Structure 1
Amino acid sequence: MAPTTRPVGVLALIITIIAVSAPALYRFASPYLAVLSPYLESLSPSIAHTFTQPAEHPFSSSFNCTPHTYTTEIVSLDPLLIYIDSFLSASEISALLASGEPAFAPSRVFKSGRNQDTADRTSSSAGLSRDDPAVSCVLARAETFLGTMLDPARDDIGPPQLVRYTAGQRFNRHRDWYAQPQPVRKGMMGRGRSWNRVASFFAILQDECTGGETWFPLVNATAPAKADGRFWRTHEDGGLAFRPVAGNALFWVNLFANGTGDDRTVHAGLPLEDGLKTAMNIWPRKFYA
């Protein structure tokens, strides 16, 4: 797997900063830090990360997966929600759009063991091939970001998807995780096991629009942030609303350490007022025997 540079002792630094600057927050957060430590070791607030991969991609010479730098900011510790600035490059966005463009169809929702239409989700979606060089590049970056959250011998990054919204389209409140782990379906590797979406990445590709914020009604910022007001705002009905910004992404943890889902990660794609919004969903999967 491609390496990423990260500061030494990130977790210790985070705990020290919290303990010194906000003792009350430290007392509140300390029970969760032990649970989050595998995740936080690979993540840091407002620190640049460089993702590197050989310039020559094994699949195609038309796209090169080049070194890429992004920054992260922890918006909420509990639940863990991180804002990623410049997660995608302009060339990656162009290649991802080209890969998904022919496949867009009305979005569906997996319920009661099958994919079905629903009035709650009115966007269009396109599955992406993990063999596509641009897709492979971005997924490798996401895997590196996850650090030890996934067991490489058992878990996987999951099938990625593009989602597109036009004027009036939305996705009402929903959770990315399943109330019950899903059985491995026919045609998938690992029959006899089950899985759930341990975390989510939501990366924006196109932002030529008004409206269309991603709203987390039960999440509040851990502390005032420099990006507050520029990338997100406090929603009038509570929680935080993140506006679409091309190249930037949200990352959040869906499951507690015991595998149960975190209800506080409920979120919605607010209606688009006009224009076009396209994003990429990445749902890392935790497998169970």
Structure 2
Amino acid sequence: MAPITRSSGIAALTVTLLAVLGPAFYQFVFPYLNLHSSSSHFISFPLPPSISKFLHIQDVEQQASPPSSSSFSCLPHTYTTEIISLDPLLIYIDSFLSPTDISALLEAGEPEFAPSQVYKRGRNQGTSDRTSSSAGLPRNNPAVQCVLNRAETFLGAMLDSSRDDIGPPQLVRYTSGQRFNRHHDWYKNPQPTRKGMLGRGRTWNRIASFFAILEDQCTGGETWFPFVNTTALPMVDAEGRPLWRRHEDGGSAFRPVAGNALFWVNLFNNGTGDDRTVHAGLPVEDGLKTAMNIWPRKFYE
């Protein structure tokens, strides 16, 4: 599935012109339509493989030679999506992060890594269920803000900009033997707002999750959803390797691929948590895996 921005009328016209004119249209006309804007909403529908090829090549060429965050610029960026499951909603996002984003995010978070914690019995604490390291990311960092804006655009009307919040992002890192056992991202009881948070006096919960891979130099380390099954054939990478598989104990397991992300909805419409979104970070067998968590927050009166 390939994303096209703006209205469906423009999208249809664009696909028609792409089909007729091919790469010449993409090179000379497409940029002036501003369809790549990160502030636009994405509409996904099938594109011919020949057209998808040119979309992918454009992205790769634009993102060559990543600079450091000190010279970071938030450039227009295109990604593609594949719906894994409708109920619960789980979406695979190909190229959600560019090489430029990854380089700058790693630079921003590298000094902050510390043993990961989980929220239990009213406080954050260490646990043997989660053996990774985590690093908070500064929201005023240009690269962080760029990616958060992209996530907000992806969410569309799911968040009310006047009352909801994209939430503080976090890097998480796994080395050999490290894991995060089965867990869910939502809270059983909505959380009270804390000092400095939006919406004082209200409660909130994590309505959805993004999990984006930054570094994939590892074996193992899949993200496993035991209760999400799909009959769709898995997407494959440039080397023909599948991006996910049916896990032997049920559900679907997604291998870490730098730049790619998973998005899922944590809550039902009534605000209660969806147990089917339970997932696990399977142990890294060897090497290193680094990812980014984004947890959009829905506020309640």
Q: 1:1-289 maps to which residues of 2 (within 5 A)?
A: 5-6=5-6, 8=8, 44=44, 62-221=71-230, 223-227=232-236, 230-289=242-301
1:159 partner amino acid: P
Identify if the C-alpha distance between structure 1 residues 87 and 212 changes in structure 2 by more than 3 Å, giving closer, same or farther.
same
1:220 partner amino acid: N
1:235 partner amino acid: H
Equivalent-residue separation in structure 2 for 1:118 and 1:81 (angstroms): 27
Q: SS where residue 69 of structure 1 aligns?
A: coil
Q: Are the aligned partners of 2:234 and 2:242 in contact in 1 as well (CA < 8 Å)?
A: no
Equivalent-residue separation in structure 2 for 1:71 and 1:45 (angstroms): 10
Give CA-to-partner distance per residue, 1:101-141, whole Å, 9 cap, x none. 00000000011221111110000000001100000000000
Q: Are the aligned partners of 1:244 and 1:277 in contact in 2 as well (CA < 8 Å)?
A: yes
Q: CA deviation at 1:87?
A: 0.4
> How many pairs align?
246
1:124 partner amino acid: S
Q: CA deviation at 1:5?
A: 1.2
Superposed CA RMSD in Å reads 2.1
Equivalent-residue separation in structure 1 for 2:210 and 2:46 (angstroms): 18
Equivalent-residue separation in structure 1 for 2:79 and 2:196 (angstroms): 36
Q: Are the aligned partners of 1:74 and 1:81 in contact in 2 as well (CA < 8 Å)?
A: yes
2:274 partner amino acid: D
Equivalent-residue separation in structure 1 for 2:280 and 2:6 (angstroms): 32
Q: CA deviation at 1:265?
A: 0.2
TM (normalized to structure 2)? Answer: 0.77
Structure with max Cα Rg: 2
Q: SS where residue 67 of structure 1 aligns?
A: coil
Q: Are the aligned partners of 1:77 and 1:222 in contact in 2 as well (CA < 8 Å)?
A: no
Q: Are the aligned partners of 2:79 and 2:94 in contact in 1 as well (CA < 8 Å)?
A: yes
Identify if the C-alpha distance between structure 1 residues 62 and 287 changes in structure 2 by more than 3 Å, giving closer, same or farther.
same
TM (normalized to structure 1)? Answer: 0.80
Q: Are the aligned partners of 1:200 and 1:254 in contact in 2 as well (CA < 8 Å)?
A: yes
Q: SS where residue 214 of structure 2 aligns?
A: strand
Q: SS where residue 68 of structure 1 aligns?
A: coil
Q: CA deviation at 1:222?
A: 5.0
Q: CA deviation at 1:193?
A: 0.3
Specify the alignment match of 1:38 in structure 2. none
The 10-residue stretch of structure 1 (71-80 or 221-230) with the greater mean CA deviation from structure 2: 221-230
Equivalent-residue separation in structure 1 for 2:217 and 2:294 (angstroms): 22
Give CA-to-partner distance per residue, 1:200-256, whole Å, 9 cap, x none. 000000000000000000001153344496100000000000000000000000001
Q: Are the aligned partners of 1:44 and 1:74 in contact in 2 as well (CA < 8 Å)?
A: no
2:277 partner amino acid: T
Q: Which runs of 5+ in 2 are unaligned?
A: 10-40, 57-68
